Chain A
Amino acid sequence: DVKVTQSSRYLVKRTGEKVFLECVQDMDHENMFWYRQDPGLGLRLIYFSYDVKMKEKGDIPEGYSVSREKKERFSLILESASTNQTSMYLCASRQAGGTDTQYFGPGTRLTVL
């Protein structure tokens, strides 16, 4: 079974802090994705990566950056956390040229005070 893990289920940070959200997948997938989920807005794509060190902006990249130094790990970075970044963050991975299914981690609920 594909397993996608996220470093924290719940996280509380203060405004202005630098925040790192980590995602690891164990199936050698090329593609990885970061979404945020907010009530009434569904899932919105922040960034995605189609290979190591390769990244592309999604629909809402402002205030975020990402890092993919190793194939299995995709990190989301909030350079200076703000209260409007309080949200549920979901990571997903997919095998390029595979079944097109995305496999999701359990999510990190981030609260910025």
Chain B
Amino acid sequence: SQQGEEDPQALSIQEGENATMNCSYKTSINNLQWYRQNSGRGLVHLILIRSNEREKHSGRLRVTLDTSKKSSSLLITASRAADTASYFCATESHGSGNTGKLIFGQGTTLQVKP
């Protein structure tokens, strides 16, 4: 089952602009994570935000979490051509125990033009 729904599916911006991606989910969660995937490669973890946190920063990344709306956003500031990739949100449901089982969204494809 697909827990995360991401919006937009595709995003094209100029270098230097900010990119915002949104993720909605359906069930109570322990945490929400964002991953990045370069074309044809594996996923790389970017940032994790726990259910009791509202905002988190890591370098040019800013993640917000609104548990009342069951939604999260990922903001990449001052984008670079190297940020071109697909971005996925993933949620660990509240009832998943310690299995670490994640449910991934369908992803947002970001293109940053030089």
Using a CB–CB cutoff of 8 Å, the interface residues on chain A facing chain B are: 4, 31, 33, 35, 40-45, 48, 50, 56, 58-59, 88, 90, 92, 94, 96-97, 99-107, 109
Contacts and interface: CB of A to CB of B under 8 A. Distances in A.
Contacts of B103: 45
Contacts of A42: 2, 4, 88, 104-107
B100 A96 contact: yes
A31 B40 contact: no
B77 interface: no
Interface of B: 1-2, 4, 30-31, 33, 35, 40-45, 48, 88, 90, 92, 98-107
Contacts of B35: 104
A52 B32 CA distance: 27
Which 7 pairs of residues, A with B, have the shortest CB-CB distance? Answer: A104-B42, A42-B106, A43-B104, A94-B100, A104-B43, A101-B45, A31-B100
Contacts of A101: 33, 45, 48
Contact of B41 (A92, A94, A107): A107
Contacts of A88: 40
A97 to B, nearest CB: 6
B33 A100 contact: yes
Contacts of B104: 35, 42-44
Contact of A99 (B43, B48, B88, B101): B48
Contacts of A105: 42
Nearest to B41: A106
Contacts of B1: 59
Nearest to B2: A42
A40 B101 contact: no
Given A42-B88, A43-B88, A90 B43 contact: yes
24 contacts: A31-B99, A31-B100, A33-B100, A33-B101, A35-B104, A40-B106, A42-B106, A43-B88, A43-B90, A43-B104, A44-B104, A50-B98, A50-B99, A90-B43, A96-B98, A96-B100, A100-B31, A101-B45, A101-B48, A102-B45, A102-B102, A104-B35, A104-B44, A106-B41
Nearest to A32: B100
